[in-house]
Amino acid sequence: MKISFIGGGVMGEAMIRGLLTKGLSTPQDIIANDISASRRETLRTTYNIGVSEDYGTAIKGSDVIVLAIKPQNLAELMPQLEGRFTRDQLVLSVIAGAAIATITGGLGHRSVVRAMPNTPAQIGEGVSVWTASSEVSQGQKGMARSILGALGKEIYVPDEKYIDMATAVSGSGPAYIFLVIEALVDAAVGIGLSREMAEELVLETVLGTARLAQETGKHPKELRDMVTSPGGTTAEGLLKLEEGGLRALLARAVIAAYERAKELGG
C-alpha cells in the first residue's frame, strides 16, 4: 500500500512512525508533503521516506492520501488539491472538526475516511474513531483500518455524528486526564511528598487503574467499592469529590466539548 501524507507534523509523523515500526509499510511506500522544508528534511533523514514539496508528485500513484494539517489550513489547501485525485484513491483525514461533506466538496473527490485520533497515538497507544463516505470500498476500509491501527486501537462507526462525540471524549480526553494528573501531583506535593515521588505515584496509579479496569472488565463502581473500606481514608476522599460535584462537572465538560465539536464541524 502506497501512502502519501499532506502535513508531516506531530500526527503525520506519529502515523509514519507507527506504520514503519509495526512493519505495515516500508519507507519506499511512504511519501510526505509538508509546507515546511525543514520538516520535510527531518522526515526524510529520520525515516528514510520520500518527500515532496509538490502536491502532484506526493499524491501520484498513492493508494491512500492522509490529510494531517491543522484545521485552519484546510480551506487554503483544498483548492490546491482539487481534481488531482484518481477515482481509486482514498483520502484519509485526521483533521479535527472537518466534516466529510466539507472534504468531498472541497476536493471534488468522493472516497473519504474521517478519523479522530488522540495524542497517545504518538506512542502507539492512541484510540481512533473513524467513519467513511459511502463510496469507500471494503478494500479501502481495510487500508484505513491498518493505517489507524498503527496508532493504537481503532474503532469504526457507521455515522459521522459519533466522530463529534468521540472528539469530546477520547479526542479531548487526554487533556482532561493531564489536568487531573497535574492537580493530583500538586495536591500530593501540598501534603508533603516530593514532586518526583508525587509524579511517579500519580502516573503509576492512573496507568494501573486503567489497566485493572480493562483487564478485569469489572464495573468501575465495583472496583471502587473494593478499595473503599467502611470509615476509611478512601471514603473520606470520595466524599469530598462528590461534594465538589465531580460527576456533574465531567458531564458538563463533555457536553460543552461536544457542542463545540458540532459547531466547528458544521
Which residues bind to ligand NAP, rule: CB under 6 A? 6-12, 33-36, 39, 68-71, 73, 77, 94-96, 117-119, 121, 171
Q: Output DSSP code: residue 96.
A: T
Q: How far apart are the first and last CA of the chain?
A: 33
Beta carbon nearer to ligand NAP, 106 or 201: 106
CB of 45 to ligand NAP, least distance (A): 15
The beta-carbon contacts of 170-179 under 8 Å, at least 24 apart in sequence, are 170/116, 170/118, 170/127, 170/129, 171/96, 171/116, 171/117, 171/118, 171/261, 172/257, 173/118, 174/118, 174/119, 174/120, 176/250, 176/253, 177/206
Specify the residue, 34 or 154, whose C-beta has the smaller distance to ligand NAP: 34
- Picking from 251, 106, 240, 121, the residue whose alpha carbon sits closest to that of residue 183 is 240
Nearest distance from residue 83's CB to ligand NAP, in Å? Answer: 16
- By C-beta, is 148 or 198 nearer to ligand NAP? 148
Minimum CB separation of residue 178 from ligand NAP in Å reads 12
Inter-residue contact 54 to 75 (CB < 8 Å): no
Supply the minimum distance, in Å, between the C-beta of residue 126 and ligand NAP: 8
Minimum CB separation of residue 121 from ligand NAP in Å reads 6
Q: Which three cell numbers stand for residue 264?
A: 466547528
Are the beta carbons of 85 and 55 closer than 8 angstroms? no
Q: Compute the distance between CA of residue 19 and CA of residue 26 in angstroms, rounded to an integer.
A: 8
Nearest-CB residue to ligand NAP?
A: 9
With respect to ligand NAP, which residue has the nearer C-beta, 19 or 198?
19
* Between 133 and 167, CB nearer to ligand NAP: 167
Between 25 and 33, whose beta carbon lies closer to ligand NAP? 33
Burial of 81 (0-12, 13-18, 19+ CB in 10 A): buried
Instruction: Provide, rounded to whole angstroms, the least separation between the CB of residue 221 and ligand NAP.
Output: 30
Which residue shows C-alpha cell 470509615? Answer: 231
